[in-house]
Structure 1
Amino acid sequence: MNVLFLCTGNSCRSILGEVTFNHLAPQGWRAMSAGSQPTGYVHPRSIALLAREGMQTDGVSSKSWDVLPAVPDIVITVCASAAGETCPAYLGPVLRTHWGVDDPAHATGTDEQIDAAFMAAYRTLRARIEAMLALPLETLDKAALKSELDRIGREVC
């Protein structure tokens, strides 16, 4: 099963989702990330946070959804549409869900405040990924899985 974490820039949130998912996922599940308008770089604070959490970031890059290594089965958008951010729409026969997360790349303030914004995004994504992986994935049909993923995006912080 291939999961795509999708946002606009593919430098922070979708990268955090991809690496965290791959760190936690069972065999046979794989995450990737992309952006509709990729920045072309992974934010250094994302890499530093993931390294502190003991996760491998080798080969992680900011890329367009046009160059994905596999066709996704599930697309999880992570843009913060409530903050007025335009969320990319992935077309194709995939299961789609939205897990809005504030973009830490736009955080301002002290180093500690900016680091806290990155940690908040990471913790939200990790909690949602853990909730997803706790589902009885092998027994849920597509409609039930969609319902559960939507619920996780609304309720798990």
Structure 2
Amino acid sequence: MDLPLLLILCTGNSCRSQIAEGLLKELADDLFTTQSAGMNPAKEVHPLAVKVMQEIGIDISQNYCKHINLFLDQKIDTVITVCDHADQSCPTLLSSIKRHHFSFPDPAEATGTEIEKLQIFRQVRDDISKLLLAYVAGRRDAVSA
């Protein structure tokens, strides 16, 4: 059975959406296929995003930044935007696609020492994790109902 495709979008696909993709693959790979993409993808997944995910046992080191156009010809079940720019500039998709928007600050814009930047990346990771735990619980409830 093919699982529904859940697409996570942000602008650069280097931090927030990659963190969310890693978390969802860990939390709910039995519910849906998770991919992430960007409206204007960066050249690489941010090294600090990789590092803070490794801290919680999730490896996103092989992930890469993808453009949303790679997915527009696929049957997308749900789109989750994790930054305001992606929400505002997301292409008009079929009305049958479920859309959710959650705004998180861009940790790539953090300034200071590496330790200070890591604190920001961890906070964003933890905030995304809390939200996705609740989202997955809701999807599981809906499936079992």
TM class, shorter-length: 0.7 to 0.9
1:137 paired to 2:118: no
What amino acid sits opposite 2:40 in the alignment?
A: Q
**Which structure 2 residue ranges, 5 or more long, are not aligned?**
none
Tell me the equivalent position of 1:6.
9
| Structure 1 residues 1-157: aligned runs within 5 Å | 1-57=4-60, 59-68=62-71, 70-79=74-83, 81=84, 85=85, 87=87, 88-93=89-94, 94-135=97-138, 136-138=141-143
The answer on whether the counterparts of 1:75 and 1:90 sit within 8 Å (CA) in structure 2 is: no
Q: Figure out how many residues of one structure are paired with residues of the other and give that number.
A: 136
Return the alpha-carbon distance in structure 2 between the equivalents of residues 58 and 72 of structure 1: 25
Q: Give the Å deviation of 1:26.
A: 4.6
Q: 1:91-125 CA distances to partner (integer Å, 9 max, x unpaired)?
A: 22211110100000000012221101101110111
The answer on whether the counterparts of 2:18 and 2:60 sit within 8 Å (CA) in structure 1 is: no
Return the alpha-carbon distance in structure 1 between the equivalents of residues 61 and 44 of structure 2: 13
TM-score by length of 1: 0.79
Return the alpha-carbon distance in structure 1 between the equivalents of residues 61 and 118 of structure 2: 21
Q: Give the Å deviation of 1:47.
A: 0.8
**Which structure 1 residue ranges, 5 or more long, are not aligned?**
141-157
Segments of 4+ moved more than 6 angstroms: none
Larger relative contact order, structure 1 or 2 (CA cutoff 8 Å, min sep 6): 2
TM-score by length of 2: 0.85
Taking only aligned residues, the RMSD between alpha carbons, in angstroms, comes to: 1.9
